[in-house]
Copies of this chain bind each other. A is one copy, B any other.
Amino acid sequence: MIGRLNHVAIAVPDLEAASEQYRTALGASVGAPQDEPDHGVTVVFIELPNTKIELLYPLGEESPIQGFLDKNPSGGIHHVCYEVEDILAARDHLVQSGARVLGTGEPKTGAHGKPVLFLHPKDFNGCLVELEQV
């Protein structure tokens, strides 16, 4: 069912410093910051040859990233995103297998303009899993 790893998201306490580090110390191709007000984050995408790293920084008062950074002030790996062909079929299959979908259970539009869902990290070895329909 799951396809490609679309991205790994890393929450960072300083988006400019993290971008600069990936650009110069790690020598990667780093994009410009993009505000995603619907998701309460500013994101920077790092293009690797086979997938992306998504740097996440809080945007606005109710950012879902702020609590994570409060607990992990240095930052940390926040989630992985797997691609699926049919997000509703994937959701229904996962719910039948006992997994919990976060929020209303209905897909939202993600940072790439595609439908996304998040699965409960407690059901996936402490790993927050995003599914994105491609």
Which of B8, B12, B124, B126 has a CB less than 8 Å from the CB of A8? B8
Neighbouring B residues of A3 by C-beta, 8 Å: 48-49
Evaluate contact between A72 and B26: CB separation under 8 angstroms: no
The answer to the question of A113 belonging to the interface, with a C-beta cut-off of 8 Å to chain B, is: no
Evaluate contact between A2 and B21: CB separation under 8 angstroms: no
Evaluate contact between A27 and B2: CB separation under 8 angstroms: yes
The answer to the question of A104 belonging to the interface, with a C-beta cut-off of 8 Å to chain B, is: no
**Interface residues in A91-118 (C-beta closer than 8 Å to B):** 93-94, 97-99
Minimal beta-carbon separation of A80 from chain B (angstroms): 6
Q: What is the CA–CA distance of A4 and B28 in the complex, to the nearest angstrom?
A: 10
The answer to the question of A77 belonging to the interface, with a C-beta cut-off of 8 Å to chain B, is: yes
